[in-house]
């Protein structure tokens, strides 16, 4: 047992946790060596091979939601339903980007989510390349006005570099630019463009924006450095056409003692419209859904309700997560833990956790109990894109720490395919995810919070 | 000095080799810390950024040959000229591949070099997926006749796996298939198709063929495994339109004592028509050309002629290499060493060498003399695609051993761009390449051959 946190817990509680050791071993054995072998991988393949990408607003997303709901019904889960919400109806058009001078080069382009289109016939403009917002700020307005600003920012981690996609258009527009092209946010490229959401700012003129490849951004930078002037023709028809409706998906395995208390596991079923969203976030959906299936198949009967939520419209700015919270926040006192996996399902390393010291000590015990999986890290942050509101409201949060060094090579690109996923690694993720969810759902008490409040 | 080979050499010869230590140090210093810093990288960028890909038959290749020749003339090299040869005029058309059943998926396709087109309107046919030639052989003809054969062979190294692209169409045609699609030959993919040459066989009907991505090949395999039947629509207009002329490029730095003896360094300037051929084989061209420039700039005056050959049409089956040998084989007795770099210019590890024991001992001494570069491996094979005929004729051959583990991630794909290249690593390659070429060119004798023959 873990020194340093174990004294927080009473012996009685520790005994209660460890009384689940047999069930946990059963879960792990079922997945690694039993009928559950490669179950989450196969489940994910049915979604990705069957429906392809599932961008919000697409028929494929709605079809895949219907598919999962029908499966969940057939699997005997209860309360299976969708929860509608509204979102902007942004549609990717036919977008193209061509270097005209000094040499004609067709450059792969992915418009950034929410980008406006170019005027009919496109934009032909000179190019100025910068490597940072600071470099842009240092330019005289005459050097940017009427031009296409290209950001060739180095990759300094997703959290940092993503600001260029998110706000590059606004910053360029403030300097009078007519469009902004952003180097794809990745550490490794095979000339692969990566997309993602961008955010206009009120009071600043909207200009079209999208991502080009690392290779092209670097080429434009070299051309500028060698004194060549560049002209790009940009033609984009992507646009936002009013609002539309999509759904979060909910399905329950009802608790035997506290049916109105919840352990929520999930991921977001929507993806970007490139690749098939196997990694982002099909994997998180698959291990969550599979967790519920396994617990039911093994005849385990957790005391409180195990709920799978598959959020939608995460990619457009966590819209599904926000909607689910708004529509269900009366459950804040009733949710023992909100677990979302949305940073890959590579080899699991542990669980990120947000919650009280006592709750953390409980998680520590559970991870010690599942140490056969070699995934015993207990991270200090358990929030996840779609669970942030819940965690901020005091609900304990859990996420999956995994060996996801390659995550951003595939993220939001055509490379987000089943090939990224490893069935054995997914088994380990599923075993960890299922064990943690099951034990927390079966404890006598909700995970304790800072203020010891209980509904 | 190296134990085991040094006794092969006379003390006099060893002294002669090591008498070049100062010049070698000058070369290395000039490149790593002097005016030559990043010279080969910049040279390569001028070619790739200026002309893009340089597939044989393209204006870009001919323009880049003209460009290099004009530069070489301006740099004061002699005998700068092109040497024409004929090759099949294969032209990539508009090729597309779409999965129709069970789900519509546009699959990136690169026709393999020399592939015929599909009949007008394309081919729509059922799909059968195999993982090996053995699996194909085991199928009943009824399972392949009239179908599109998809090879989902695992990557087992380029040398092994490339047989599927090279001969997959022929093997499929022998079983009555109407087309063959081959999983791209790479160990890592971001849904990136890789092209390359394929070879029809006389007496077997030609069928259209090309490469799809690893991701799509694996998806088709999973679909087949899960019992789904698949239909693909393939529309290809690539075709061979008679013969055409292209050129190898030659430029000399004339030797001061033995002008009719040669040390040849080079690479192939042609590339595939994806990416910009920065790695394959712009890097080899750049370090070879740069070697000659550096030796001249430093005022070094090697005894024999240093010749740069930039071959063409390597990608279509070593056609330039074969032509250069046919047109110049009278020089076999006069060439001290034939050095081609065509497996990347990543961090150098040493020199691969084919030749007599005595010549090998000389190379060992030279590599010991350049040990500051940490690239002292002396490999057992010094042949290279365009120098094979020379080496088989008894000419000593050298190539560049380098840390090219990632080579086939980019090879023949849109990812073969300057971003692959590292200017510092290229400096190390250039320093090694230049030092070896210079010392061999300045020795009193040609590198000794097995039979001790000299013209």
Same-domain check for residues B162 and B115:
yes
What pLDDT, on a 0 to 100 scale, did the predictor assign at position B179?
98
| Residue B8 banded pLDDT, cuts 50, 70, 90 | confident
Residues of A with Cβ-Cβ distance to B222 under 8 angstroms: 45, 49, 418
Distance from CA of B226 to the nearest CA of A (A): 9
On the question of pLDDT at A426 being above 80, the answer is yes
Same-domain check for residues A360 and A249:
yes
- Give how far Cα A160 sits from Cα of A133, A167, A247, A380, Å: 12, 12, 31, 20
CA separation for the pair B366, B431 (Å, rounded):
12
**A278: DSSP letter:** I
| Closest alpha carbon to B432 in B306, B265, B271, B262 | B265
| Residue B453 banded pLDDT, cuts 50, 70, 90 | very low
Residue with tokens 């400096």: B427
What pLDDT, on a 0 to 100 scale, did the predictor assign at position B450?
83
Which strand (E) or helix (H) includes residue B310?
strand B304-311
Same-domain check for residues A208 and A349:
no
Tokens standing for B353? 């060498």
Is the Cβ–Cβ distance between B326 and B388 less than 8 Å?
no
Same-domain check for residues B151 and B18:
no
Whether residue A454 lies inside any domain: the answer is no
Residues of B with Cβ-Cβ distance to A418 under 8 angstroms: 215, 218-219, 222
| Residue B451 banded pLDDT, cuts 50, 70, 90 | low
Whether residue B232 lies inside any domain: the answer is yes
Is the Cβ–Cβ distance between A285 and A426 less than 8 Å?
no
Same-domain check for residues B107 and B176:
yes
Question: Would you call B417 and A215 a contact, using CB atoms and an 8 Å cutoff?
Answer: yes
Sheet bearing B231-235, strands edge to edge: B105-106, B96-101, B231-235, B123-130, B148-151, B179-183, B209-212, B110-111
Residues of A with Cβ-Cβ distance to B409 under 8 angstroms: 190
Same-domain check for residues A184 and A283:
no
Is the Cβ–Cβ distance between A103 and A124 less than 8 Å?
no
Whether residue A447 lies inside any domain: the answer is no
Question: Three-class SS of residue B436?
Answer: helix
Q: What integer is the mean pLDDT of A223-230?
A: 97
Q: What integer is the mean pLDDT of A156-171?
A: 97
Same-domain check for residues B260 and B408:
yes
Dihedral pair phi/psi, residue B11, rounded to 5°? -60, -35
Whether residue A116 lies inside any domain: the answer is yes
Mean pLDDT of chain A: 96
Output the furthest CA–CA distance in chain A (Å, rounded): 75
Is the Cβ–Cβ distance between A342 and A281 less than 8 Å?
yes
Question: Three-class SS of residue B89?
Answer: strand
On the question of pLDDT at A202 being above 70, the answer is yes
Q: How far is CA A107 from the centre of its chain?
A: 27
Tokens standing for A214? 């690392």
Mean pLDDT of chain B: 96
CA separation for the pair B426, A27 (Å, rounded):
53
Q: What integer is the mean pLDDT of B185-193?
A: 98
β-sheet bridge partners, residue A283: none
Q: What integer is the mean pLDDT of A180-185?
A: 98
Whether residue B23 lies inside any domain: the answer is yes
What pLDDT, on a 0 to 100 scale, did the predictor assign at position A454?
42
Is the Cβ–Cβ distance between B129 and B150 less than 8 Å?
yes
Q: What integer is the mean pLDDT of B39-64?
A: 98
What pLDDT, on a 0 to 100 scale, did the predictor assign at position A5?
52
| Residue B5 banded pLDDT, cuts 50, 70, 90 | low
Same-domain check for residues A84 and A101:
no
Question: Three-class SS of residue A329?
Answer: helix
Domain boundary among A237, A262, A297: A237
pLDDT digit string, tens, across residues B258-290? 999 999 999 999 999 999 999 999 999 999 999
Distance from CA of A162 to the nearest CA of B (A): 20
Instruction: Tally Cβ neighbours within 10 Å of residue B106.
Output: 10
CA separation for the pair B174, B167 (Å, rounded):
11
Which strand (E) or helix (H) includes residue B261?
strand B258-268
| Residue A455 banded pLDDT, cuts 50, 70, 90 | very low
- Give how far Cα B365 sits from Cα of A28, A414, B133, Å: 59, 49, 46
Q: CA geometry: angle at A79 spanning A400 and A77, to 5°? A: 70
Domain boundary among A203, A218, A237: A237
Whether residue B447 lies inside any domain: the answer is no
Tokens standing for B377? 């491996």
Domain boundary among B211, B237, B263: B237
Question: Would you call A418 and B51 a contact, using CB atoms and an 8 Å cutoff?
Answer: no
Nearest CA in chain B to A415: B190
Q: How many distinct structural domains can be found in chain A?
A: 2
CA separation for the pair B367, B374 (Å, rounded):
9
pLDDT digit string, tens, across residues A366-417? 999 999 999 999 999 999 999 999 999 999 999 999 999 999 999 999 999 9
CA separation for the pair A284, A292 (Å, rounded):
13
Distance from CA of B418 to the nearest CA of A (A): 7
Question: Three-class SS of residue A10?
Answer: coil
CA separation for the pair B147, B127 (Å, rounded):
6
Buried-exposed string A312-340: b where 16+ CB fall within 10 A, e elsewhere: bbbbbbbbbbbbbbeebeebbebbbbbbb
Is the Cβ–Cβ distance between A98 and A107 less than 8 Å?
yes
Same-domain check for residues B79 and B118:
no
User: Which ipTM score applies to this complex?
Assistant: 0.96
DSSP notation for B114-135: TPPPPPTT-EEEEEEEESSHHH
**In terms of residue numbers, what domain contains A68?**
6-90+243-442
> What CATH number should be reported for the domain holding residue B342?
3.40.630.10
Same-domain check for residues B73 and B126:
no
DSSP notation for B216-259: HHHHHHHHHHTT---EEEEE---EEEEEEEEEEEEEEE--SSEE
> What CATH number should be reported for the domain holding residue B101?
3.50.30.30
Same-domain check for residues A36 and A80:
yes
Residues of A with Cβ-Cβ distance to B103 under 8 angstroms: 49-52
Tokens standing for B105? 């998926």
Q: What integer is the mean pLDDT of B52-74?
A: 98
Q: Please give the torsion angle defined by the CA atoms of residues B286, B287, B293 and B296, in that order, rounded to the nearest 10 degrees.
A: -160
Distance from CA of A380 to the nearest CA of B (A): 32
CA separation for the pair A141, A171 (Å, rounded):
12
Could you tell me which residues of chain A have a Cβ less than 8 Å from any Cβ in chain B? Answer: 45, 49-52, 102-103, 105, 108, 189-192, 214-215, 218-219, 222-223, 226, 275, 409-410, 413-415, 417-419
| Residue B454 banded pLDDT, cuts 50, 70, 90 | very low
Whether residue A207 lies inside any domain: the answer is yes
Nearest CA in chain A to B60: A103
Same-domain check for residues B97 and B84:
no
Percent of chain B with pLDDT over 90: 97
What pLDDT, on a 0 to 100 scale, did the predictor assign at position A8?
86
CA separation for the pair B189, B413 (Å, rounded):
10
Whether residue A453 lies inside any domain: the answer is no
Q: Which residue in the list B314, B315, B358, B365 is annotated as catalytic?
A: B314
Q: Look up A314 and say whether it is catalytic.
A: yes
Residues of A with Cβ-Cβ distance to B51 under 8 angstroms: 103
Handedness of CA A53, A55, A58, A61 (dihedral sign): positive
pLDDT digit string, tens, across residues B234-251? 999 999 999 999 999 999
């Amino acid at each position: 047992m873990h020194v340093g946190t174990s004294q927080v817990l009473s012996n009685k509680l520790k005994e209660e946790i460890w009384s689940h050791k047999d069930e946990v071993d059963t879960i792990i054995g079922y997945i690694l060596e039993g009928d559950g072998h490669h179950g989450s991988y196969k489940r994910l393949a049915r979604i990705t091979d069957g429906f392809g990408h599932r961008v919000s607003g697409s028929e494929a997303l709605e079809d895949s939601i219907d598919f999962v709901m029908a499966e969940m019904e057939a699997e005997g889960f209860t309360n299976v339903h969708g929860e509608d919400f509204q979102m902007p109806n942004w549609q990717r058009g036919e977008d193209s980007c061509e270097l005209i001078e000094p040499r004609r080069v067709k450059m792969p382009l992915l418009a950034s989510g929410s980008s406006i289109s170019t005027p009919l016939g496109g934009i032909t403009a000179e190019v100025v390349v910068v490597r940072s917002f600071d470099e842009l700020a240092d330019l005289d307005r005459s050097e940017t006005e009427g031009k296409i600003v290209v950001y060739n920012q180095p990759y300094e981690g997703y959290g940092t570099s993503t600001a260029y996609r998110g706000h590059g258009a606004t910053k360029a527009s403030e300097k009078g630019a007519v469009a902004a092209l952003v180097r794809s946010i990745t550490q490794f490229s095979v000339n692969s463009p990566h997309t993602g959401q961008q955010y206009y700012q009120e009071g600043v003129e909207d200009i079209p924006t999208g991502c080009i490849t690392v290779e092209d951004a670097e080429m434009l930078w070299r051309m500028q450095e060698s004194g060549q002037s560049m002209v790009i023709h940009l033609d984009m028809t992507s646009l936002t056409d009013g609002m539309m409706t999509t759904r979060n998906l909910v399905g329950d395995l009802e608790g035997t003692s506290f049916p109105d208390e919840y352990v929520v596991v999930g991921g977001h079923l929507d993806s970007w419209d490139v690749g098939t969203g196997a990694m982002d976030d099909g994997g998180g959906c698959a291990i969550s859904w599979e967790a519920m299936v396994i617990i039911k198949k093994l005849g385990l009967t957790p005391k409180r309700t195990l709920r799978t939520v598959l959020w939608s419209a995460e990619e457009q700015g966590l819209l599904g997560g926000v909607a689910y919270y708004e529509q269900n926040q009366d459950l804040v006192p009733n949710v023992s833990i909100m677990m979302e996996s949305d940073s890959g399902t590579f080899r699991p390393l542990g669980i990120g956790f947000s919650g009280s010291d006592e709750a953390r000590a409980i998680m520590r015990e559970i991870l010690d109990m599942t140490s056969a999986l070699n995934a015993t890290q207990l991270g200090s942050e358990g929030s996840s894109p779609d669970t942030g509101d819940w965690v901020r409201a005091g609900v304990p949060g859990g996420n999956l720490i995994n060996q996801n060094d390659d995550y951003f090579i595939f993220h939001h690109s055509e490379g987000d395919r089943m090939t990224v996923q490893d069935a054995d690694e997914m088994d380990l993720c599923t075993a960890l995810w299922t064990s943690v969810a099951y034990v927390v759902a079966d404890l006598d008490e909700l995970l304790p919070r800072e203020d010891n409040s209980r509904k």
